[in-house]
Structure 1
Amino acid sequence: MTHSRAVFRKVTLASALVLTASVAQAGPFSAVKIVNSRSVTQFEYDQRVQFMTLLNQPGDLAQLAMETLIDDRLRQTAAAEFGIKLSTADIQAGMEEFAGRANLDAAQFTQIITQAGIEPQTFRDFVETGLSWREVVRSKYGPQIAISEAAIDRAMASFTPSTTLMLRMSVIEIPALGESRETGLKAAQDLLLQLKSGVDFATLARANSKGRTAAQGGALDWVKLSDLPNDAAVAVRSLGAGKVSDLVVLDDKVLIYRVEEQKQDLLTPKTEVLDYAELLVADDAAALGAVRANTSSCNDLYALAKGLPEDRLRRQTLPLGQVPKDEAAALSLLDAGESSTDLMRNGYRVFLMLCRRGPAESELPSRDEVRLQLTNQQLGAQAQIYLEELRSEAILRTP
């Protein structure tokens, strides 16, 4: 038995005593808290305490269980007001994702919690509430969030990879080249409609895909998101397990992906590189001041160098060990976007700016990935503010 499964099978004596005592005080389906017009029952409270115990949740579980149930009622009310309704497939995918954190699938996870006295519906309700709340936040705040190109530049300049997204997928590949391109596009669109209506992906792949894995129902090995063609990466990066992508139209074929699993793998940068720029400027305070005033990133230097001889501006991306020692010493004191004017070359003052320090270009996320990460960060912050507002306005009663 793995460690994670052993942890999930452990039910503490404290949890059992809480359950016994609470049921003795009130009927299992009587309300113990009213949140606006929604009830929290004794049974739900006891189940939440046990569930949090199995998850090794730290802190005062008796208090945390009630607080999280109150928050769930507020989230559920918001979801109803926004008309959020999740499909069975959405909820199942969310359950698979949650169970995957313990290296289990949803069925294994459900079996373990059931043996510990926790109803499968408790797990399902917990996941559904979280997914619904995520959709509420996206609906309410998503249209307001705009990530600027400058913000993406700053994030990429300071990016240090720790994990990489890995995907296990299946694919249907339809040739679409030359005179047969329109026919291929039409065939792929028809297949996508069938998939959205519930037809089995593997069955359609065996019958229609022209890819090398067609006989295996289109099943692919694990692949890094960053190793996919850009259009394919954009199409699948935000898909949960069991979800099918839109059409990915390439020059010679059309692809339809189904995400089976995804995971994060640890990633160690192979080589630290320095991306830096040098602009040769007249050695006087006015000239240097003008450059500083008009430069916030390395890209700004191109406009300043317009019309100058080509050797006045140089931008390089080199492994740390290949950077000349005097430049490396100056750059070691800088963060991305900062500059130094300590060096001289050929009678000019060197305006030296660090553009980025970190992994090689091949190890960087795409701009779309960074945009998504920054968007999710802002949505997370807005979600917390919104929940605080709902808490402050809530009417709580103890029957």
Structure 2
Amino acid sequence: MTFWRGLQAATLVAVLGASGGAVWLGSAPPAQAQNLFAPRLYVNDQAITFYEVEQRAKFLQVLRSPGDPMTEALRVLTEDRLRLAEAKRLGITMGEEQIKAGMEEFASRANLSAEQLLVELQKADIAPQTFRDFVLAGLVWREVVRARFVGMVSVSEADIDKAMQTMTRPRALSVLASELVIPAPPGQEAEALALADELAASIRSEAQFAEAARKYSASPTAAAGGRLEWLPLANMPPAISGQLLTLGKGKPSQPMVVPNAVVLFMLRDVAEDKTAAPISVSVEYAKYFVADDPAAVAHVAANVDRCMDLYGLAKGQPAEALVVETKPMSQIPSDIGLQLAKLDPGEFVTSRTAAGQRMILMLCTRNVEADTPPTRDQLRDQVQNQKLDGLAQGYMAELKANALIREP
């Protein structure tokens, strides 16, 4: 199961190498001028200090994690406190050798040892303990989720057959689906998830789904009842495409938690070309951050026809203003991947970030290549991990809803 929460060591090292270790955190809260080791937030009876927030923000910044670094750092540290507390409640601990192995595994993604990665992090004034704490929280959370859910998660032969179809013939399939995007701003995740669970349990037809989408969805497709156009399955994030193909007619998907939202899908139709060969898809895409102002977006629309044009607009701005990445669809966050699936090269969509900016998300290129079909054992693990990831998101939402989270 993925327990690094989407963060990539290779990206971290690439950014550090390009920036010479410099980290820009934007505007820090005024209280940060006080004692760095004073409490910034309490999660139940556990304090999070200003120092920890600053350190995690630097770590997220070099990883180019989306959103405002300070805001995201506080959110992630809050979740880490809950992860560790739940592990303690269940009697789950990690030995020093396990932690070291986890640090080595993360660093190996960038072809580095943990010691080499720590050297790079220290160039950006990120303490070794910050990296260790990040790894520890991920390791214990994986064991917590397994302890609670593995015995409850079954993977049938039919599940594997459907996943095999998804993985081995993605070019052959296009899907006609509907989406329902429930906003989940910070602090309201539990309410959004509860509404999504209620809708998933009560919706029994496409008409009911469309009615709910018009009432609750924050997506531009809400007015059309959440209806999307035909999309090649290979263009979609695997976590979404895998869910879609398992849906029965008129039944919504299980809620999928993405940053600042909870999403439901409904499959309306599938088109298949049985002559197509197995492929995998990777995309190059750009994230350009501008002021949350219609004039700024209009300026981009008037002056940008392709991703290369963004470099001209971003000239002289901080490096964080423009991020261009190339990744397989399997490594792209589901919320971004779904938006990219709807785009042709040179097209873009916009969304508001937690930092109060407007993110321009543009598809640069989409590439396909022949793929080696996975084995059934590999698919069994993938399907189980997908199910566990979904359950883990709901688990964290429950822990947050039941926690006492307060400022000093």
Report the TM-score range of the alignment, normalised by the length of the smaller protein: 0.3 to 0.5
If the length of structure 2 is used for normalisation, what is the TM-score? Answer: 0.46
- Which has more radius of gyration? 1
Structure with the larger RCO, 1 or 2 (CA within 8 Å, 6+ apart):
2
